Structure 1
Amino acid sequence: MTRHYADGSVDALAWEDVVEVRVVGNSPGGGAGTPAAGTATGAAGDAEADVLYILLDREGQGCVVPRSATDGAFLSRLRYLPDFDLDRLSAAMDAARGSSVVVWRSPDPPSALPDLEYD
């Protein structure tokens, strides 16, 4: 998952590193909801996007994707996250006005790094 901004900056996150998906809705007044600390708020032109998807990794770094930038492939890929619930996503999109709703978290606990022995 890669998102390019108008200012030249880039958010990137590998799908296998995604551990949480949030939906953030704009407040009824049109201002964007506040994403998690450390995430970007988007480029100019995102104001018309009424929903943002925030995908986070284990360190809290993420990729912010406005609904206007999504396509069928993005939504299909979300479906392949373990135990992802499309009904919960739909409900969150309706309920997330001015707030952030966690719609999915990885069911697997963080895996420990293997002990590597060097000769």
Structure 2
Amino acid sequence: MAGVEITDTFVRRTLADGRVEEVAWNELAEVRIITTADGPFADDVFFVLIGATGKGCVVPHSAADTAFLARLQALPGFDGDKVVEAMVSVADRQFLVWRRTDPRRPQSN
């Protein structure tokens, strides 16, 4: 079944075709927001979570609950100003909102 699962351990997105994207919170290395010009009647804001190995998960804003957003905002050095900029964007853009300072070192839970 397609959808997004957000736990204390990982974020997983199952696509309609059965493919699965997943990243563990402790392996998170980068967070980006991608915006598109497709709104307002379609998802147009996506959180891209990239793990230390390069694998990641895309979370549509419509699937991002307050706990997910709070977890992102708690990341050291998270750029809330870029999030605000992304949320008002109506164009196809990318915003880097967080990057681990030492990509070789896993984040503690």
TM-score range, shorter chain: 0.7 to 0.9
Cα displacement (A) at 1:100: 1.3
Q: Which runs of 4+ in 1 moved over 6 A?
A: none
Pair 1:105-2:99 in alignment: yes
TM-score by length of 2: 0.74
Aligned pairs (5 A) from 1:1-119: 1-27=11-37, 30=38, 48-95=42-89, 97-111=91-105
Amino acid aligned to 2:12: T
TM-score by length of 1: 0.68
Unaligned ranges ≥5, structure 2: 1-10
CA RMSD of aligned residues (A): 2.0
Cα displacement (A) at 1:99: 1.6
Aligned residues: 94
In terms of fraction of residues, the more strand-rich structure is 2
Q: Which has the greater radius of gyration?
A: 1
